[in-house]
Amino acid sequence: MVKLSMAILSTLDDVHNATGNMDAIVHLAVYASRDPDAYVVNDQKPFLINLKGLWNVLESARQRQIPRIVHNRFLPSSSSQWCVFFF
């Protein structure tokens, strides 16, 4: 059975709620932009989504003992902080 669940990546509690009763995680969310001005020094989105978001997914999987995680690092047309989980 495949279950679709979404979470705001920058919040561990939200990610952890989304990973309940899962056997595996496919993590596809990434912050990416083709705009050269998108990554300014004070822009928190790349950190919150790409780094903290991945950490939250991995931490939730660790806490729940989910043994299988697939992470896609780069989706060039994506700029969302939502994470989609398929199981």
Average pLDDT rounded to a whole number, residues 43-65 = 91
Q: What is the pLDDT of residue 56?
A: 96
Please, what sign has the CA dihedral across residues 85, 79, 40, 11?
negative
Q: What is the pLDDT of residue 74?
A: 59
Taking the C-alpha atoms of residue 80 and residue 87, their distance in angstroms, rounded to an integer, is: 21
Average pLDDT rounded to a whole number, residues 17-34 = 87
